[in-house]
Structure 1
Amino acid sequence: MRLNRTQGAAVTAVALALLFAGGAVTVASADREEEPRTPDSASADAGFARDMAVHHQQAVEMSFIVRDRTKDEEVRRLAYDIANTQANQRGMMLGWLDMWGLPKVQSGVEPMTWMGMGGSGDTGPLDGALMPGMATNAQLDELREASGREAEVLYLKLMTEHHRGGVHMAEGCVSKCSVDIERNLAQGMVDAQQSEIALMADMLRKRGA
């Protein structure tokens, strides 16, 4: 059967309408799938941001302490790099919590719960060491009282353990976090801190430690 020009135009119009409608449904569906979900307070994203902000704050503190306790430029430069990097990352993580409308401190929840482990157990934190790798209050006091090579060696040892704990936490976020930008930051932490661990091992060898 031959279609006249008017009938042919009508058929074409219907076909195009169906095509665009199907495309619109596909795009709408894709938009729904790609729309980022805001993390809730119990999520790995929020837990990592909170815990790593605290972890980073101690690294910044230790780095400022050692810069005042030694004149060694190699150690002072490393301390500056760590303090600057981790202060910036800490600001990013606290900013995400603000953006998500979540508290920066969650009462009644132990650190590392988001990783399926308690931070301090039933006995409470060990002399201020809230999470793996964190220095105790006594160790921080020792660093404040040390100077020269003694301060350098102690800082490098404490920061090596601190980084190992940080890598463990960051790897947890890489596997558990759902926000891409946060997961990417965590992977960057893993790579950078593993590199710094190797660097600090060399620095310790140079100092006979």
Structure 2
Amino acid sequence: MSHLLILFFATFSAAFMATVPPGLLNMNAAKVSVTKGKLNGIVFSLGISTTILLQALIAVWISKFLHNNPAVSEWLLKIAVVVFAVFAIYFFIAARKNKQDEVRIVKVSKRNSYFKGMGLAALNLLTIPYYSGLNVMWNASGWIKFQVWDIMIFVLAAGCGTFTVLYMYTVYFNKLENKNQRFSKNSNYILSVLMVVLLIVTLIRIFK
């Protein structure tokens, strides 16, 4: 039982730290909270966290395969380069198009926000290799075994750690009422720059 507690807090901390730096998921969660309201931001974050749960589950079963076959991880990184490039262009065009738009709160379906969150998280192709690497390290440390309870705790901790940070992003940006308009106008530019940074980092990892 003690190793399950260690497993939960270690995985929760790893998921938390991976989500804290401004990136595609948390910045979009903040943007949804600002433009569509706090509740939609939280629902959007739940959608992201649901996909993270599924990706963490997949990572458990393929961790050894990825560890023993570096070519697979390299293939995923190459796909990530294309995805980041497309998103960088998309957010830049969106920022130019909506530069003069005023920010207003719009009513949208919470279900729509949930599935948008799931879809966006599914495009983050680095998640599965990340959690696969964690699984390999935890397995080497004796913190995780390929048993039902271990897998459930690992997956749950990954989802909870991610959602905690996303919730903080939605609440933090939603409280900055005086700066909401500026943030909403510039968020697409911020996201475009972040995509470029992620693209560069991914290229460095591929050619390192």
| TM-score band, normalised by shorter chain | 0.3 to 0.5
Structure having the higher helix fraction is 2
- TM-score normalised over the length of structure 1: 0.35
